[in-house]
């Protein structure tokens, strides 16, 4: 078969039909290899990618944009628009990218893995040149789809040792271990946990594992009736604290919450139940939102510099877009902020 050459402007004159012929597959398989790689056997996908590379072909329209001109577009995928944490991250990232003339497209998955995959495919079809994606727990094949398009990406809000992905964030497991260690050092031995939905959320899963590991080192464990999973909202924090404190068996003297909204709900419900914080119960949050310092009592929590995550993610992507191959960023440090919602358990 005659190989497709270059057009007069230097671009490849290859078509999907040429890639299919060289790889010995159908054009539909070529399309799936790029747009839904999880539906194609790995060995077939490799044949298609090899043929596409050899012919200098990329799918339209992203391929055409990348081959002929800059689109000056970057995509950001976040799980929700209802959280200041991600707003701060995206704002800082957008400020940094816009200074270099790059416009940001924002996709929101609403903690739905299928929506996340669809958002990424849509942004790739629009010709984004780079992607920042919160977390690494996504549908199989999603990162392969991005790599197949030759688009640089970075995972944000998470930094897992051994991860294959470039990441800008912090070690979620280590952060919760630090919270647990603080409470253990105060003398707490009975713990409760209120956390966000964990399905398709590697950040929450890592935090839970960090807490359980710290307790296990002391021969302790969470009682099932003292663990609550649900929406990351004040109302669920209230409902959960009541359920935990009314459960049969010994009451926990410390409740660890997956974010500050849940912790604020726990503080409100503790007061409604006549439970004194921190005398009768210690409560911790996560994120250090503005309200955490204003609660009564002020909330012990973990501070994360979300704006710095956005800035470093943007810098990593800009370096990639400049044609350089940067090293994976080192983890950021989270900071335990000690306030008046934690204390040693009462002797009684």
Q: How many domains would you assign to the chain?
A: 3
**Within-domain flag for 182:** yes
Per residue in 266-285, pLDDT (tens digit) is: 999 999 999 999 999 999 99
Same domain, 215 and 291: yes
Same domain, 164 and 176: no
If you write DSSP's letter for every residue of 123-142 in order, what string do you get? HHHTT-SEEEEE-S---TTH
Same domain, 178 and 268: yes
Residue 67's pLDDT band, with cuts at 50, 70 and 90, is very low
The C-alpha atoms of residue 91 and residue 87 are separated, in whole angstroms, by 6
Residue 9's pLDDT band, with cuts at 50, 70 and 90, is very low
Q: What is the share, in percent, of the chain residues with pLDDT greater than 70?
A: 93
Domain that holds residue 76: 71-170+306-332
Per residue in 120-159, pLDDT (tens digit) is: 999 998 899 999 999 999 998 899 999 989 999 999 999 9
Give Cα separations from 220 to 83, 103, 187, 216, 282 (angstroms): 33, 50, 12, 5, 17
Same domain, 297 and 312: no
Same domain, 109 and 182: no
84-98 and 306-321 helices, crossing angle to 10°: 30
Same domain, 23 and 104: no
**Within-domain flag for 5:** no
Same domain, 260 and 189: yes
**Within-domain flag for 4:** no
**Within-domain flag for 294:** yes
* CATH code, domain with 29: 1.10.260.40
pTM comes to 0.79
Same domain, 145 and 81: yes
Same domain, 121 and 151: yes
């Amino acid at each position: 078969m005659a190989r497709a050459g270059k057009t007069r402007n230097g671009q490849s004159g290859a078509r999907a039909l040429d890639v299919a012929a060289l790889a010995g597959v159908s054009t539909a398989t070529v399309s799936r290899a790029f747009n839904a790689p999880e539906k194609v056997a790995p060995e077939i996908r490799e044949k298609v990618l090899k043929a596409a590379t050899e012919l200098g072909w990329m799918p339209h329209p992203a391929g055409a944009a990348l081959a002929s001109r800059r689109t000056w577009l970057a995509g950001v995928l976040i799980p929700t628009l209802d959280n200041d944490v991600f707003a701060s991250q995206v704002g800082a990232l957008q400020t940094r990218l816009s200074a270099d003339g790059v416009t940001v497209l924002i996709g929101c998955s609403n903690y739905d893995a299928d929506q996340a995959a669809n958002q990424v495919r849509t942004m790739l079809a629009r010709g984004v040149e780079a992607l920042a994606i919160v977390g690494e727990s996504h549908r199989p094949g999603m990162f392969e789809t991005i790599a197949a398009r030759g688009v640089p990406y970075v995972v944000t809000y998470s930094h897992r040792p051994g991860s294959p992905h470039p990441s800008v964030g912090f070690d979620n497991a280590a952060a919760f271990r630090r919270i647990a260690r603080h409470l253990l050092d105060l003398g707490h031995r009975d713990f409760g946990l209120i956390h966000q939905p964990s399905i398709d959320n590697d950040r929450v899963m890592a935090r839970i594992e960090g807490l359980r590991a710290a307790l296990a080192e002391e021969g302790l464990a969470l009682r099932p009736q003292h663990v609550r999973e649900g929406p990351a909202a004040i109302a669920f924090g209230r409902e959960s604290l009541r359920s935990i404190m009314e459960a049969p068996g010994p009451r926990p003297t410390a409740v660890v919450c997956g974010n500050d909204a849940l912790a604020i709900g726990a503080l409100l419900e503790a007061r409604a139940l006549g439970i004194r914080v921190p005398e009768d119960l210690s409560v911790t949050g996560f994120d250090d939102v503005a309200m955490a310092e204003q609660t009564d009592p002020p909330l012990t929590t973990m501070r994360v510099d979300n704006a710095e995550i956005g800035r470093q993610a943007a810098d990593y992507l800009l370096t990639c877009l400049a044609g350089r191959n940067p090293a994976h960023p080192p983890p950021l440090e989270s900071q335990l902020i000690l306030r008046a919602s934690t204390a040693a358990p009462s002797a009684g």
